[in-house]
Amino acid sequence: MDYSYVYLILLLPALSFLLLGLAGMKMSHKLAGIIGTCSLAVVTILSYYTAIEYFLVVGREASSGLYPTVTAFDFTWLRFSELLTFNIGFRLTPISVMMLIVISTVSLMVHIYSFGYMHGEKGFQRYYAFLSLFSMSMLGLVVATNIFQMYLFWELVGVSSYLLIGFYYPLHAAVAASKKAFIVTRFADLFFLIGILFYSFYVGTFNYDLTTMTPEQAETLHNSAWIIPTALFLMFIGGAGKSAMFPLHIWLPDAMEGPTPVSALIHAATMVVAGVYLVASLFPIFVEFAPNALHVIAYIAAFTAFYAAAVACCQSDIKRVLAFSTISQIGFMLVALGVCLPDPEVGKVAMTEEYADVNGLGYMAGMYHLFTHAMFKACLFLGAGCIIHAVHSNEKKYMGGLRKYMPITHWTFLISCLAIAGIPFFSGFCSKDEILVACYNFSMPMGIIMSGIATMTAFYMFRLYYGIFWGTENKELHAAHTPHESPLTMTFPLMFLAAITIVCGWILPFGHFVSANGEAYDIHLNAQVAATSIIVAVIAILLATWMYAREKQPVADMLAARFSTLHRAAYKRFYMDEIWLFVTKKIIFRCISTPLAWFDRHVIDQFMNFMAWSANAAGESVQPLQSGKVQSYTMWFLGGVIVLTIMLLVL
């Protein structure tokens, strides 16, 4: 199959960014939006065409029964040694093709949605230029042929997210949020870079695909296995920053200061899953050389999922609820990857059907949840944008009773809530159930913990749903400004994403396309785990209905008053921002930065000043000797000769 056209997937959004960035201010809002949207529409068509050709037309190789790793193009940019080269290319694997579908679909829906949401906004052209830059960066990240190329686009994703979060730059909160996101993710990316350098130094390559390594590289990798776990965990720290894992999560809730479509694109469906994609790309190396590091990732992700779920239960800003929900769901994906085990017989990923069903089940489950979560979480964020557009506020107290004013938003939001809660016949049920099965296969405590977090998810999502669409209506506000349904440009993406959420749960045979070892895997429900997850989800929904669906919420108010300290702590995110400020200002700045600054000013600067003074003084001292008189030069010359002669005779 000829994939020579795939360079257009990266080129078109790049050209859109350049065109809108350089000449956008001379265009009308409508023309700029059409250019950005059409470029993404073509990219989406090409991505779907690539997926159909890759999975269905060409299909699996006859010899191995696996989907091939296709390098559409690959050229050497920098050559460090015979084996260590930095290549730029376009690589197709089952997970990269899946990510092309996710990124292009969500990005296209966001582009269409933004026509209505950003209508009349100052900087409309700049907004679409930044969207194109982000889409190009994320697409380049998932098709990278090596870790260093991934890191290159990884940083471009960080830059574009900084620009989009700070789009409303006249607002102090938006500027602070963009700087916070940029600094935190750059701090994590430093560890990613160190991990890449460790890995490349000891392995001798930037490749993360063991199948493409030469025998010499494979031997080096085995001989240096002691350093590989360290390098992989350092790279994971970079992924933890992008994916907002505890304690590097503090940037994501504040990033909600950006436009709501940006929240849907960057912080719900694409950017935050970069860490998950990184671990999935390095999965065979993790399993073979660093299974313990993989399990540490699972424990970190499980704690993050619980922490974020607890915070989400107490938030009043609807976008922040969804932000912490995203953190929790990313935790689910990383837990799924982290609970995978090497095959006991070969000590790595085994090419057997049993491996995909037991030890490697989490890989498929995590990728499946990444796909489904992207669709219904984007739908939730875009639905939140419609709600904010109608009531002009993020706070739930200004909402309530909106179901009769916004029927399309109400039903699509409800479908997405049912999906994330894990109710049968919706996509979230299938993917989350497989994650729970993988967790129970790993250990009973991990399965119980993740089942509990899934219960919390159903509770806080329906707390949010009832607070928006049922509950107490703010009749005074609604009398002054009657809420109304959003235009078709905003509701169409909701309906499209909701339809995917319904359909892909029972039609899409995801295991046939993506699995831990590449073997086709038939998803089948574990009756015991499925029944348990359904029961606890229904109980959580009923509890939320009892507490929040009525005009008054006496039970919720009573619990908030009785456990006021805990409620306040959860509302304040357990004071993690304050802890980080204390660590940075009181410890790092005062105890490290201030002494270093004093040393720089009083030692380094003064030493350099002394060197300059010494050179100037020496010059001024010898200046009188440059008189221009031949007699003086002769006397100094003869005097020097006499002194040297005496020294030679004496010594």
- Residue 87 β-bridge partners: 76
DSSP for 303-347 reads HHHHHHHHHHTT--BHHHHHHHHHHHHHHHHHHHHHT----TTTS
DSSP for 608-643 reads HHHHHHHHHHHHHHHGGG----HHHHHHHHHHHHHH
Cα-flanking dihedrals φ and ψ of residue 425, to 5°? 75, 5
Distance of CA 362 to the CA centre of its chain: 19
| C-beta separation of 418 from 538 below 8 A | no
- Residue 91 β-bridge partners: 71
Does position 344 have pLDDT exceeding 90, yes or no? Answer: no
Per-residue pLDDT reduced to its tens digit, 536-573: 999 999 998 888 887 777 887 788 888 888 888 888 88
Is the bond leading into 261 cis (omega within 30 degrees of zero)? no
Helix (H) or strand (E) holding 73: strand 70-79
What single letter denotes the amino acid at residue 558? M
Reference 511, options 361, 377, 374, 376; nearest CA is 361
Distance of CA 402 to the CA centre of its chain: 32
- Listed in sequence order, the DSSP H helices in 255-290 are 260-264, 274-281, 283-289
Per-residue pLDDT reduced to its tens digit, 243-282: 888 888 888 888 888 888 888 888 766 788 888 999 998 8
Q: Give the pTM.
A: 0.88
- Residue 521 tokens, joined: 């895997």
Distance CA 492, CA 532 (A): 35
Does position 156 have pLDDT exceeding 80, yes or no? Answer: yes
| C-beta separation of 324 from 249 below 8 A | no
DSSP for 559-575 reads HHHHTHHHHHHHHTGGG
Is the bond leading into 259 cis (omega within 30 degrees of zero)? no
Per-residue pLDDT reduced to its tens digit, 429-467: 888 899 999 999 988 999 999 999 999 999 999 999 988
| C-beta separation of 229 from 293 below 8 A | yes
| Residues whose CB is less than 8 angstroms from the CB of residue 573 and which lie 6 or more positions away in sequence, other chains included | 250, 253, 311
Which residue's entry shows tokens 């359904």? 534
pLDDT interval class at 82 (50, 70, 90): low
Cα-flanking dihedrals φ and ψ of residue 471, to 5°? 55, -155
% of the chain with per-residue pLDDT over 70: 95
C-alpha neighbours within 13 Å on the C-beta side of residue 541: 16
